[in-house]
């Protein structure tokens, strides 16, 4: 073995984010000091972003098997069977730290990266969703991040022709310094044509194709996502620059190569660039790989060897090709006007070698690079004092129910997202059956007349109050959204956005949240197919709210019967379905009133919620329900207003146990009842398991055999009128509610 000449030493290792102990492990694995290229490669692959060294033991506890699972964790994207010989590939990933530095490019390249994850398994991307978090929109910085991040998402998705069909955005003080940009992509493929990323076949060649390699993005995602952001650091040079038109050609080129059966394995280049993609392909295939950087097409001729290996330039793919097919592969690349070059070879050595015109620059065991990164035990400890300051109060505690409803509808977290969604093309591709604000989940047509439903959800404030129950609630909200359009959940992806796991209180949040995620997914039989972890989301002002973002995919047999959230027909009955027990704890109302987060959330009837979702799902499919909308932020009153606004129809509703007809499931659990105390809890309290439905009364009564049903009113007129315990507390025209709801977010876009 020839040792590289340049020996950077321990101080250089520390500068690259490695600890002294980790450096010693590298020396032991190599049986010598590492060279510059080797040290750069180890520093990135052993970073938190690439190795999950603080979270991997927790992730191994999650459910990853299911009847519909086709491709599970460990690949670029997971996949589930949706019938008719088709599979749906999907995944969610973050681009948080780069977006906090350069929001337009950070968000745009986040979309580009998640698209490549999906077509790297052979699936054609058919939809994108996003989950966004910013600080209070009264902040100039938050408005800047919001405007530019949304612009970047729209630019990339619209340009490449993949619809953005759904998502969410929330504004909270703890995200002021660390915004969250999570993107989810869904793709469609014939199940038998799914391709994996494991390299195989000694003597097979590696072909790099796509954009040229440059200095943009060096150390970007992997370094930025593995440390806290400093207030005075200028990180802009490390943020990648995306080109959606180049990606469009790359996508078509990749899919044609797969269609022609010209490649053995395929991997996208994301964080850590060639270092990560090549070494992970080698590790999965238990082979070695040689790369000659002199063969890599460069944008800048004077790049250092380590820069070539760690560049995070976008729009690049790496494939394994049998020698006899190399010319054909390069011909397809030429057809699509993308660069293509054979840059290396699969070996049987189990080693990752970096060469330049045959000169050795690095020689490392693949296992040491990929599998032997040290894993760190977390030291979780529940904090003794509140971690987050209460928000500033913007609503008086003695505000009337109508004033409270109007304030909630106008608040940034509940106002219409139309100013945001209008920047995205949600119907390109002609698959979209239900668009944003038409239903709780996006619905996409499948070739056989069935449909795919997709939802993405999370609520950091509730998770901050109770990491375990808050995460269960996030999963249940995602599943409720699917149920409201008639879809059965088939699989789940997640993005775990947390602070510094080396701190006991963050370790506790992460540990509890993952436990809740596993519990809820097991109950729903919706296994984890893959995901992402984003840690160190904190700075001088403290950590973000712990924010597990949940993405879920489901199927409904008839796309023509997909549910909608708006009221449909005057005279139809309205019911509240499911084990809904509202509480003001960590609610949107509590935020507007400036209340401190509570220490815990009420218990969740997980089994009851799963039963309720199944009952609603079947009723939507049968046509027994005209509308279905989950009760989420803002409670029953806001859910009623949203259904009225979506259908442009009013409603007359009476709440209170003495004034409704409450029907329970035969032999089931007792009705959870209504909260005692102030009207605020009854009207605006939040919890899990509640769905607001409308339809013919007979259909609503039929639900009572399977779950709790409370008949609470009728659809009709042009006003929303709500009585509580015999007293009218809300009376407003649908037109007035619409004006307030429409204007709440528009002012925050430049």
Q: Tell whether the torsion through CA atoms of 615, 621, 624 and 626 is positive or negative.
A: positive
Among 608, 569, 598, 566, which Cα is nearest to 709's? 608
User: The sheet that has 180-190: what strands, in order across it?
Assistant: 69-71, 78-83, 86-94, 180-190, 124-134, 164-171
Query: What residues have CB less than 8 Å from 348, skipping those under 6 apart?
Result: 202, 287, 288
Q: Tell whether the torsion through CA atoms of 602, 604, 608 and 613 is positive or negative.
A: positive
Q: Please tell me the distance from the alpha carbon of residue 345 to that of residue 538, in angstroms, as a whole number.
A: 41
Structure tokens at 295: 């063969």
Among 485, 425, 410, which Cα is nearest to 739's? 410
How many Cβ atoms are within 10 Å of 494's Cβ, its own excluded? 31
Structure tokens at 562: 């997909």
Structure tokens at 559: 């796309």
**Contact present, 172 and 235 (Cβ < 8 Å):** no
Strand, coil or helix: what is 261? coil
Catalytic residue of the set 54, 95, 148, 505: 95
Q: Please tell me the distance from the alpha carbon of residue 344 to that of residue 329, in angstroms, as a whole number.
A: 15
Between the alpha carbon of residue 591 and those of residues 171, 408, 432, 633, 743, the distances in Å are: 11, 10, 35, 11, 20
What DSSP string describes 602-659? Answer: ----HHHHHHHHHHHHHHHHHT--SEEEE--TTHHHHHHHHHHHHHT--EEEEESGGG
Start-to-end CA span in the chain (Å): 59
Catalytic residue of the set 49, 505, 629, 741: 49
For tokens 């032991």, the residue is 28
**Contact present, 497 and 547 (Cβ < 8 Å):** yes
Structure tokens at 658: 């003495």
Q: Please tell me the distance from the alpha carbon of residue 706 to that of residue 664, in angstroms, as a whole number.
A: 8
Strand, coil or helix: what is 393? coil
Among 699, 727, 524, 688, which Cα is nearest to 618's? 699
Among 466, 449, 495, 544, which Cα is nearest to 167's? 495
Could you confirm whether 49 is annotated as catalytic? yes
DSSP tag of 377: -
Element spanning 173, H or E: none
Q: Please tell me the distance from the alpha carbon of residue 726 to that of residue 295, in angstroms, as a whole number.
A: 79
Backbone angles phi, psi at 110, to 5 degrees: -65, -40
Q: Which residues are catalytic?
A: 49, 95
């Amino acid at each position: 073995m020839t040792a590289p000449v340049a020996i950077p030493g321990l101080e250089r290792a520390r500068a690259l984010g490695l600890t002294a102990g980790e450096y010693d492990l590298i020396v032991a694995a190599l049986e010598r000091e590492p060279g510059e290229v080797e040290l750069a490669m180890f520093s990135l692959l052993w970073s938190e972003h690439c190795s999950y060294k603080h979270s991997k033991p927790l992730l191994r506890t999650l459910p990853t098997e299911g009847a519909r699972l086709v491709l599970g964790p460990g690949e670029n994207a997971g996949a589930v069977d949706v019938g008719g010989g088709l599979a749906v590939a999907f995944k969610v990933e973050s681009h948080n730290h780069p977006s906090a530095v350069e929001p337009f490019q950070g968000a745009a390249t986040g979309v580009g990266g998640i698209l490549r994850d999906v077509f790297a398994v052979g699936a054609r991307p058919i939809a994108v969703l996003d989950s966004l978090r910013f600080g209070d929109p009264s902040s100039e910085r938050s408005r800047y991040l919001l405007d530019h991040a949304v612009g970047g998402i729209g630019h990339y998705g619209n340009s490449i022709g993949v619809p953005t069909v759904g998502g969410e955005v929330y504004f909270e003080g703890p995200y002021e310094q660390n915004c969250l940009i999570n993107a989810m992509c869904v793709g469609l493929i014939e199940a038998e044509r799914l391709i994996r990323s494991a390299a195989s076949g000694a003597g097979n060649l590696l072909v790099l194709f796509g954009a040229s390699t440059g200095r943009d993005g060096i150390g970007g995602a992997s370094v930025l996502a593995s440390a806290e952001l400093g207030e005075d650091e200028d990180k802009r040079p490390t943020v990648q620059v995306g080109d959606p038109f180049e990606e469009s050609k790359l996508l078509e080129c990749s899919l044609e190569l797969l269609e022609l059966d010209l490649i053995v394995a395929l991997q996208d280049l994301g964080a850590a660039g060639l270092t990560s993609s090549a070494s992970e392909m080698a590790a999965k295939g238990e082979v070695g790989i040689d790369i000659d950087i002199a063969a890599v097409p460069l944008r800048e001729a004077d790049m250092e060897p380590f820069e070539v290996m760690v560049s995070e330039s976008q729009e690049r793919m790496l494939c394994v090709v049998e020698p006899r097919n190399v010319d054909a592969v390069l011909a397809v690349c030429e057809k699509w006007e993308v660069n293509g070059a054979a840059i290396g070879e699969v070996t049987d050595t189990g080693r990752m070698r970096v060469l330049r015109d045959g000169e050795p620059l690095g020689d490392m065991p693949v296992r040491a690079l990929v599998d032997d990164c040290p894993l760190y035990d977390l030291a979780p400890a529940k904090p003794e004092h509140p971690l987050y300051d209460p928000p500033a109060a913007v609503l008086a505690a003695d505000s009337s129910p109508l004033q409270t409803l109007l304030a909630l509808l106008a608040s940034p977290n509940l106002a219409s997202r139309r100013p945001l969604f209008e920047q995205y093309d949600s119907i390109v591709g002609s698959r979209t059956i239900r668009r944003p604000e038409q239903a709780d989940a996006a619905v996409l047509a499948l070739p056989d007349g069935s449909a795919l439903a997709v939802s993405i959800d999370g609520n950091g404030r509730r998770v901050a109050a109770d990491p375990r129950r808050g995460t269960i609630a996030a999963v249940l909200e995602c599943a409720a959204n699917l149920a409201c359009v008639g879809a059965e959940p088939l699989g789940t992806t997640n993005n775990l956005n947390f602070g510094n796991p080396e701190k006991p209180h963050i370790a506790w949040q992460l540990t509890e949240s993952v436990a809740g995620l596993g519990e809820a997914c097991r109950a729903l039989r919706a296994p984890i197919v893959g995901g992402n972890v984003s840690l160190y989301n904190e700075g001088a002002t403290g950590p973000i709210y712990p924010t597990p973002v949940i993405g879920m995919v489901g199927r409904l047999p008839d796309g023509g019967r997909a549910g909608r959230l708006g009221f449909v027909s005057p005279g139809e009955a309205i019911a509240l379905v499911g084990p809904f027990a509202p509480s003001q704890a960590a609610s949107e109302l509590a935020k507007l009133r400036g209340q401190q987060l509570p220490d815990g959330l009420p218990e969740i009837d997980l089994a009851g919620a799963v039963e309720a979702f199944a009952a609603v799902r079947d009723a939507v499919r049968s046509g027994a329900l005209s509308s279905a909308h989950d009760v989420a932020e803002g409670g029953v009153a806001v859910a009623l207003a949203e259904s009225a606004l979506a259908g442009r129809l009013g409603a007359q509703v009476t709440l209170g146990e003495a004034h409704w007809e409450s029907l329970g499931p035969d032999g089931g659990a007792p009705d959870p009842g209504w909260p005692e105390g102030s009207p605020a809890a009854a009207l605006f309290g939040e919890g899990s398991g509640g769905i607001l439905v409308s339809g013919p009364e007979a259909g609503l009564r039929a639900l009572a055999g399977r779950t709790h049903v409370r008949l609470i009113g009728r659809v009709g007129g042009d006003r929303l009128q709500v009585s509580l315990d015999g007293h009218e507390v809300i009376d407003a025209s649908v037109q007035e509610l619409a004006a307030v709801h429409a204007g709440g977010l528009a002012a925050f876009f430049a």
